[in-house]
Structure 1
Amino acid sequence: MESNLILQKLNRLEKLLVGAKSIFNVEELADYTGFSKSYIYKLVHSNIIPYSKPNGKTLFFEKSKIDNWLRSNYSKSDTEITEEAENYIFKSQK
C-alpha cells in the first residue's frame, strides 16, 4: 500500500518535471498533453501539430509552439461574449 503511494507521487513529480522542459519527444508530449502516442503520430502525419525532425527519425516538439497550438481555435464562453457585447454597446453610445 505504501509503495503504491510512493509510486504515484513519483509519477506526479515526473510529469511536473516533463512540463518544465522546453523540448519534448513523443512520449513526453503524450504525458504533457494526455494524448496517446498513436494520436500524436497521426497529428504529425497529417501536419496538424508543429514538430521538427532534425535527424530524419526522431520527432521533437517545442513546448511554446505546442502551447500555442493547444490554445488555437479558442471558443469564448457565453459570459465573455456577453461582456464583449455590453462593452461594444457602451462604446457605441458615447
Structure 2
Amino acid sequence: MEISKDTKFTLSTETLVTIGITLVTITGFYFSLKAEVAQAMKEPVPVISREEYDLKDNAIRSEIMNNRDLIQKNFKKLETIEERLYELKR
C-alpha cells in the first residue's frame, strides 16, 4: 500500500455521522464530569464530631469486652469437655 498525492481516502456519510455523534457524546461526558468535580469541591467536608467518635469508640470497646467474656465462658466449657473426654478414655 502506497500513500501519495493521488491516494484517495473516502468516508461514507454514515461513518462521518458516527464520528460526529461519538465526539459530541465524549465532549458531553467530559463537561458533565468537570461540573460534578467542581460541585464536589465546593461542598464542605463531612466532619465527625468528638461526641460521635466517643460514642462509636465506647460501643466498640463494650462489644469487645462482651466478646471477651463469651470467649472466657466458652474456654471454661471447653476445659470441662476435655476433662470429661480424658476421663472417658481411661
Higher relative helix content = 2
Q: Which has the higher contact order (CA 8 A, sep 6+)?
A: 1
TM-score, normalised relative to structure 1: 0.26
